[in-house]
Amino acid sequence: MEIHTFFIILLAILLSARILGELAARLGAPPVIGELAAGVLLGPSLLGWVEPAPVIRLLAEIGIILLLFEVGLETDLQRLAKTGFKPVMVAFAGVALPFAGGFGVAYSLFGLDLLVALFIGGTLTATSIGITVRVLTDLNRHRSHEAQVVLGAAVLDDVMGVILLALLYEFSKGGGISLTNTGKVVLFIALFMVLAPLAAKLIAEIINRFERRSQIPGLLPSTVVSLVLFFAWLSHAVGAPELIGGFAAGLALSRRFVMPMAIAIRTNEDFAHRVEEQMKPISHLFTPIFFVVVGLSLNFREIDWTSSFVWLFSTALFIVALLGKLAAGFVIKEPLFNRIAIGLAMTPRGEVGLIFAELGRSSGILSGEIYAALILVVALTTLLPPFALKYFYSRPSATTT
Amino acid sequence: MEIHTFFIILLAILLSARILGELAARLGAPPVIGELAAGVLLGPSLLGWVEPAPVIRLLAEIGIILLLFEVGLETDLQRLAKTGFKPVMVAFAGVALPFAGGFGVAYSLFGLDLLVALFIGGTLTATSIGITVRVLTDLNRHRSHEAQVVLGAAVLDDVMGVILLALLYEFSKGGGISLTNTGKVVLFIALFMVLAPLAAKLIAEIINRFERRSQIPGLLPSTVVSLVLFFAWLSHAVGAPELIGGFAAGLALSRRFVMPMAIAIRTNEDFAHRVEEQMKPISHLFTPIFFVVVGLSLNFREIDWTSSFVWLFSTALFIVALLGKLAAGFVIKEPLFNRIAIGLAMTPRGEVGLIFAELGRSSGILSGEIYAALILVVALTTLLPPFALKYFYSRPSATTT
């Protein structure tokens, strides 16, 4: 890509995200909806000005990882731990129920092939952690108890999604599924999730010491971004999604991070503050790119609006996609309000659903019509829950619970 | 490029730039030398781990434009204006003398073809504004009177370089040179340089008003970066180098910007402060990428160290390249100290020289041997002056003038 073309595309992305985000806020919608809409507007669905070129996709990836880093920074590990096994249960139910529902609709109701039905079920398991977290932040509920449950569940869901995707992919290649391999991956990821924050904490301490003695300004942005990139890379290396690495690094640098077993490296409040201060502008710059790219990837032109199959099939899938995630909020003991909030927050499929659908199509498993129906389901589950959550939280009863 | 490959490359660039930059500072060298060395180390010259892939080049371009934006932010337009015509004279002499010297050495002394000699002369005219500015900042002399002269001259030199390159390119295609076209480009660029800061100032005022009413955090990073990208794009559109647009945007947002003819939009001190505060981490993240990429592009393996022609030719060119820029410091009335400082600061050819040499090679005008000699001259003029300037400024007489 030519440099000046790149500049003008990046400009269009940043500016449209900001303008439509502000507009959404004025109209009472969550700003993230404005950013997604900016992508739909600029992309193939409407104007067709911008396509998600590789460079833009890479910047978007940095954006989502930095967003998860920010989320980690603001996460209180002790509060997260207090939710106990609830996130695990929500995540399992939120994967199993939509998978079963999607598979059932496709296999039994519409009589599709086994592999096709498995991919459709897989697509419905996804939770877009980015959109989930952004909506809760936009509504200023990200520190609430139910948000902690959602955060834990969404992280686990992302991990399960990657494993499921790998399994389906192996299965589709006719290689059969190796449970030993899967077990190994699960073990690696579990180890990573426990050890990564500890390792990141040690590295952060080194950065802190160097910063005090550095003679050149600007040490924090480059070293902290390096740290985040390293853990994202490491996360990928053990088979987990990259953004988990960003989350682990953020947790470690959070001012509320506590080491287990009381081998406490005291959290340096001042250092944590400087990291937050200097990383905020960087993540504010990059994260909108991610949401715009999700919007760019939702191509509504690929949907044949005259096909009754697309309408019927996507309606059926949307119902199980919504009910499956909503039901996941009901497998734990919580007040009704929290159960609904958790279920709604887990509903957006976003980019994770698109990855499933895309892989299914590119490997020739999903036909154009089925792919189109899935895109529609992903779009509906991504765009509607933010409105529903916003409405739900603005009801008078929301403040009392 | 795969996402995790991209992450690890970006990590290697950021981290090696920081480590070698710190090391350079400890050893008493300017940090920018460490960043260039990081590129030489990672690139084809030594380890061969990283090549400047398109994505990395685009990030580097953002880096240099943000650096020029920062320079603009810190520039006092009134102080710059006080230098009068001195920068113009230095720039003209700094283009004419190395061009004549390089052409003379190639054409008369070594008997090369006319077109080849013209390209060699052109390569020697370049001044790397990025390296020049960074060295002066590293030495904490960027606010001095001589730095203002160098800044003005380097900006003009960059503009002249782009025009010269376009002329040579046209000439090499056998199209002849159209003076009307050249005049038009010069006029456009002059208009841009006068009007861009005014336009940027108006847009900044709009951003300022929006920021006060925005309901979503993070307005400044995305809008200010958009502004910078827009002026970089506009600068390219009128035929000037992109970084001039970054500089113009920076000037306009500087707290010392004054509108001509007293139609003053009062500079909002608080807004200027917030822009500086939030843009610093972003430019600190991106600018080292630029210097590492310059280092990556210096491929010492392409030089045949056993060729006596390369040694003789590059020595002769180095002498005229150095003397030509040094002499440019002597065409204005300044104390001896300032004249030498200005000449030395104008000497680094950096990426601008590489672009000339690269174009000459890719269009088949420069042979491999001549290209290698030019690379060596660019490397020497880029790497030595920072040391010379540092030594020069650390002498006892430096503080008295």
Which residue in the set A25, A219, A226 is minimally distant from B11, CB to CB? Answer: A226
Q: Are A233 and B7 in contact (CB under 8 A)?
A: yes
List domains and CATH numbers for chain B.
3-400 (1.20.1530.20)
Q: Which two tokens stand for residue B65?
A: 């434009």
CA–CA separation, B45 and B328 (whole Å): 32
Structure tokens at A129: 């952690």
Specify the pLDDT at position A222. 93
Residue A274 has pLDDT above 50, yes or no: yes
Q: Which of A74, A203, A216 to mutate to test the interface with B (most CBs of B within 10 A)?
A: A216
Quick check: B259 pLDDT over 50? yes
Identify the pLDDT of residue A226: 95
Integer-rounded Cα radius of gyration of chain B: 21
The answer to whether A225 and A281 have CB atoms below 8 angstroms apart is no
Per CB-CB distance under 8 Å, the chain B contacts of A285 are: 218, 221-222, 225, 282
pLDDT tier at B267 (50, 70, 90 boundaries)? low
Share of chain B above pLDDT 70, in %: 95
- Of A97 and B76, which is predicted with more confidence? A97
**Percentage of residues in chain A having pLDDT higher than 70:** 95
Find the largest Cα–Cα distance for chain A: 68
Give the integer Cα–Cα distance in Å for A19 and A150. 29
Q: Which of B5-14, B133-142, B171-180 has the highest mean pLDDT?
A: B5-14
> How many residues in total does chain B contain?
401
Q: Does B54 touch chain A (CB under 8 A)?
A: yes
Of A10, A216, A284, the CB nearest to B218: A284
Q: Does A54 touch chain B (CB under 8 A)?
A: yes
A152-164 average pLDDT score: 87
Task: Tell me which residue in B10, B25, B236 faces A216 most closely, judged by beta carbons.
Answer: B25
Quick one: pLDDT band at residue B266, thresholds 50, 70, 90? low
How is residue A207 written in tokens?
């950065």
Minimal CA–CA distance to B363: which of B174, B98, B161?
Answer: B174
Answer whether A21 touches B (CB < 8 Å).
yes
For all residues of chain A together, what is the average pLDDT? 87
Residue B70 contacts A where some CB pair is shorter than 8 Å: no
Q: Cβ separation of B22 and A215 shorter than 8 Å?
A: yes
Please report which confidence band the pLDDT of residue B397 belongs to, taking 50, 70 and 90 as the band edges: low
Mean pLDDT (whole number) for A386-395: 87
pLDDT in tens, B303-358: 888 889 999 999 999 999 999 999 999 999 999 999 999 999 999 988 888 888 88
What is the tens place of the pLDDT at every residue in A111-142? 999 999 999 999 999 888 888 888 888 888 88
pLDDT for the residue numbered B401: 43
Q: Which range is most confident: A10-24, A77-91, A257-271, A350-364?
A: A10-24
* pLDDT exceeds cutoff 60 at A262: no
Mean pLDDT of chain B: 87
Position A371, amino acid? Y
Give the CA angle between residues B335, B337, B342 to the nearest 5°. Answer: 95
Evaluate if residue B270 carries a pLDDT over 90.
no
d(CA A234, CA A348): 27
Q: What is the pLDDT of residues B62-114, one digit of tens each?
A: 998 999 898 888 888 888 888 889 999 999 999 999 999 999 999 999 999 99
Give CA–CA dist A343/A6, Å, rounded: 39
Name every chain A residue with its beta carbon within 8 A of the beta carbon of B278.
280-281
d(CA A137, CA A32): 10
pLDDT at B258: 66
Is ipTM beyond 0.90? no
Residues 105 through 164 of chain B touching chain A, CB cutoff 8 Å: 138
What does the pLDDT look like over B185-212, one tens digit per residue?
888 888 888 888 888 888 888 888 888 8
> What interhelical angle do A242-253 and A219-237 show, nearest 10?
130
Average pLDDT value for residue range A37-54: 90
